[in-house]
Structure 1
Amino acid sequence: MATILVTGSCGGVGSWTVDHFADAGHEVVGVDLRTPPGTRENVDFKAADLTDYGETKQLIEAAGPDAVVHLAAIPNPESHAGSRVFENNVVSTYNVLDAAGAVGARIAWASSESLYGTVFSEADWLPDAFPIDEETPTEPEDPYGLSKVVGEEIAARVARRYGVSAVSLRASWVTYPGSEKTRTAREGFDPATADLSGNCWSYVDVRDLIAAVEAAIDPDSSKPPIEGHEAVLVTAAENFLGRDTAATIEAVHGDLPADCDIEGDEVVFDCSKAKRLFGWEPEHPWREAEDAEVTGPGFL
């Protein structure tokens, strides 16, 4: 069994990630600004300010992890000053990934589809082509998307400097089994009045995102890790509206890229690289997830 350090361990994705690896029998070190009120078998919770390099390095050196999963971040630019979002996300990512690289840990961290620039843009604009893949230019205007662009450069630098594996997971909006959010959004959707959608109603189930994390760090395998740095899109295969994607984009945005190769409710993101690289495909569509009864983390 591996030792896996997870940052943002009290957050939504982080807490589910901690639970998953602890259930699998791994030794987990969960790191957040505060420790949770409860305890969890196989988990050692630590409180740390990840924007402090000394704290971060000391904690990671002491844990000696086989893998580091970096999920801690301010998740959008709308609830904090932009400078705080950018500084927190970039500095913490540098500190965590550099310290992880120095101890030879495999790395997976939460980048975002927001780095393409459409999600938090104040203008209504679409990319030059659909589907979007890892080669689509990143053109963020907001501090959150920009922090993810810089974070991927940090991950690439750490992979070069220390010779470790680093995977940047470009995840979409994360949903949870049993949640009503996708149902509410879908049932209240009217193309004539709908808000613009920078990610074109894409999402990823938290269980599928964790599966991508696990595939990226591959804690149970003796095979060589992924070489260097790779950025990989991870989203569900379909939009959560149950509508024709291209027709809905055209109805809401008033336009479509001239190059548009998507069919039916197919999502606008091409996740085939994740399948090629480590065999990942989404397995939890909203149609079954909305009514799923899955117990979440009990230590919060």
Structure 2
Amino acid sequence: MDVVVTGGRGSSGRWIVDRLAGPHDVTVLDRRLPDDGGHPAVEYRALDLTAAGGVFDALTAIDPDAVVHWAAIPVAGNHPGVDLFQNNTLAAHNVLSAAGRVGADVVQGSSDGTYGFFFAEETPLPDELPITEGHACRPEDDYGLSKVVTEEIGKTISRRDGISVASIRPSWIQIPGEYPCRDEEYVDDLATGAGNYWSYVDVRDVADLVEAALTAEIAGHEAFNCVGPDNALGRPLVELMREQYGSVPDDCTVEGDAAAYSTAKATAMLGWEPTRSWREAADEDVDVPIV
């Protein structure tokens, strides 16, 4: 399969590229070319994804079977909100529109920020535990809003051009051997991780889900939660919720140290399950892919 990956040189995108290169022919579109030549099995093109003409020309020339759109400003607070929103939504519109025109299916990076918990002024209780993809999206911030809009772009392009679009909603992505969700200040202060209910996901599980979505038969647009198999504190989630928020949702079926988000949909539709827990991965010694 010929696959274009945007943002493939970023901190999580490089793991996706490393997973796909070999089984697939991969071309990375990013703002600049690698200084050292990059991954030997990958082609590179420097491109501003907010420039529609350049994006269309590139995808028309490559004519890929699929596009992984992973380029974005990945978190709120580091850029002015309007700049973040404009960058993320305009790039998504350009990339997905071009993919639709050339008939390439899309897997795009969304976020658990779509639900609106983490960056809310006061973190609300979710309507349900575990949180499924059907939960209402109520962001109060520009980042979460940008991801809601990019998912709507995916739905629009899918309807218009008949391609499939999978929107992956990762929680806080962790790199093996680093795992800031296990830092002392995070573990010892319950409030630090309360905004996403102490959820996380290993970057290799993210790459696995992207590949699973690429090779699956998906009709239209589908969103998929992408979180680890447990919560980052290793304590019963209900206990954590009651300690931090004083209660749990009436619709609560989680048990033990489960994550707050359900991945049952990805398991049912894509055959994917998260396999890396902080218990092993936090101290793993794994080379970061060079892309």
Give the TM bin, normalised by the shorter chain: over 0.9
Query: Once the 2 structures are TM-superposed, how far is the Cα of residue 260 of structure 1 from its aligned partner?
Result: 2.1
Q: Output aligned runs, 1:208-227, within 5 Å.
A: 208-218=205-215, 225-227=217-219
Identity fraction in percent: 43
Is the Cα–Cα contact under 8 Å of residues 38 and 298 in structure 1 kept in the other structure? no
> Does residue 265 in structure 1 map to residue 257 in structure 2?
yes
CA distance in 1, matches of 2:217, 2:93: 21
Is 1:85 equivalent to 2:77 in the alignment? no
- Is it true that 1:287 corresponds to 2:284 in the alignment? no
Which range moved further: 243-252 or 168-177? Answer: 243-252
Give unmatched runs, 5+ long, in structure 2.
none
- What is the rounded CA distance, in whole Å, between the counterparts of 1:240 and 1:100 in structure 2? 37
Specify which of 29, 36, 39 is matched with residue 38 of structure 1. Answer: 36
**Would the aligned equivalents of 2:186 and 2:192 in 1 still touch at CA under 8 Å?**
no
Q: What is the deviation of 1:30? A: 0.8
- 3-state SS of paired residue (2:195): coil
Q: Which deviates further from its counterpart, 120-129 or 52-61?
A: 120-129
What CA RMSD, in Å, does the superposition of the two structures yield over aligned residues?
1.5
| DSSP 3-state at the match of 1:12 | coil
The 2-side partners of 1:7 and 1:59 are apart by: 12
CA distance in 2, matches of 1:212, 1:180: 19
Residue of structure 2 in register with 1:29 after alignment: 27
Residues 1:202 and 2:202 are matched in the alignment: no
Deviations 1:256-288 (A, max 9, x none): 223322111101111101011111101111111
Q: Residue 118 of structure 2 aligns to a residue in which SS?
A: coil
**Superposed CA offset, 1:94-125 (max 9, x none):** 11011111111121001111111111011131
Which amino acid in the other structure matches residue 125 of structure 1?
Answer: P
The answer on 1:7 being equivalent to 2:31 is: no
How far apart in 1 are the matches of 2:283 and 2:78? 30
Number of aligned residue pairs: 290
**Aligned: 1:157 with 2:149:** no
Q: How does 1:1-300 map to 2 (within 5 A)?
A: 2-22=1-21, 24-39=22-37, 40-185=39-184, 188-191=187-190, 194-195=191-192, 197-218=194-215, 225-299=217-291
Residue equivalent to 1:221? none
Indicate conservation of the 8 Å contact 2:29/2:45, yes or no.
Answer: yes
| Alpha-carbon distance between aligned partners in 1 of 2:189 and 2:162, rounded to the nearest angstrom | 50
Deviation at 1:227, TM superposition (A): 1.2
TM-score, scaled relative to structure 1? 0.92
Amino acid at match of 1:198: G
User: What secondary structure sits across from 1:45 in the alignment?
Assistant: strand
Q: 1:215 to 1:185 in 2, by over 3 A?
A: farther
CA distance in 2, matches of 1:120, 1:114: 8
Structure 1 distance, partners of 2:185, 2:236, is: 13
1:64–1:103 CA contact under 8 A, matched in 2:
yes
